[in-house]
Amino acid sequence: MLILLDRDGVLNQDYPDDYVKSPAELILLPGVGEAIAQLNARGWPVALCTNQACVGKGIIDEAMLTRIHNDLRDRIARDAGAHIDAIFFAPDPPWAVTDRRKPGPGMLREAMRQFHATPEQTVFIGDAVTDMQAATAAGCRRILVRTGKGKKTQAAGLPEAVLPVTIAESLPDAVARLLHEETDETIR
């Protein structure tokens, strides 16, 4: 199984009216490193698919985004022995959107190609309606976490077009659900 993750609001604190502009502003949510380590232990590839309009808007450059992502990787490796297999990002600003920027499915499809996974073998975990729309367009299973924008997204009601969506409290809860399914001997 391929696990695709949104970044802001899923792995780290989301800044609703701002961006993570440096490694110092990247505040990991509780248990995310351990959750990723559990996926790694199962042998499932883990990749980020994240919109980063701050690059397209000129707020930070790609070199700073790379530093932020390297810090993320270093911290989860040090704290939990976890690793992220690939990072895909869409730098598109809102006025120059491509298919890679969620709700477009471009990044998700690119990840599936890289890891030779079908949509049926892929789960996308995010906190926003655009995450669920991108996963729907790519044909992936969808899990909405209630961290980040997730509570507001759920409260606003998910469009019928993205259903079904599994709701989880956090990334660790989503991972626990996925791992339980794999050990559940129920015939489906």
Domain 2-183: give its CATH code. Answer: 3.40.50.1000
Strands (E), the chain: 2-5, 46-51, 86-90, 122-126, 141-145, 166-168
Q: pLDDT by residue (tens digit) across 111-142? A: 999 999 999 999 999 999 999 999 999 999 99
Give the residue-averaged pLDDT of 99-107: 97
Average pLDDT, the chain: 95
Alpha-carbon distance of 113 to 177, in angstroms, equals 25
With contact defined as beta carbons under 8 Å apart, do 137 and 171 qualify? no
Nearest one of 125, 128, 131 to 148, comparing CA atoms: 128
pLDDT of residue 1: 97
Q: pLDDT by residue (tens digit) across 41-75? A: 999 999 999 999 999 999 999 999 999 999 999 99
Q: What is the pTM of this model?
A: 0.95
Give the confidence band of 184 by pLDDT, cuts at 50, 70, 90.
Answer: low
Is the confidence at residue 94, as pLDDT, over 90?
A: no
* Radius of gyration over every alpha carbon of the chain, rounded to an integer in angstroms: 15
Number of CB atoms found within 10 A of residue 131's CB: 33
pLDDT of residue 135: 98
Give the residue-averaged pLDDT of 160-183: 94
Q: What are φ and ψ of residue 101, in 5° steps?
A: -75, 125
Q: Give catalytic residue positions.
A: 6, 8
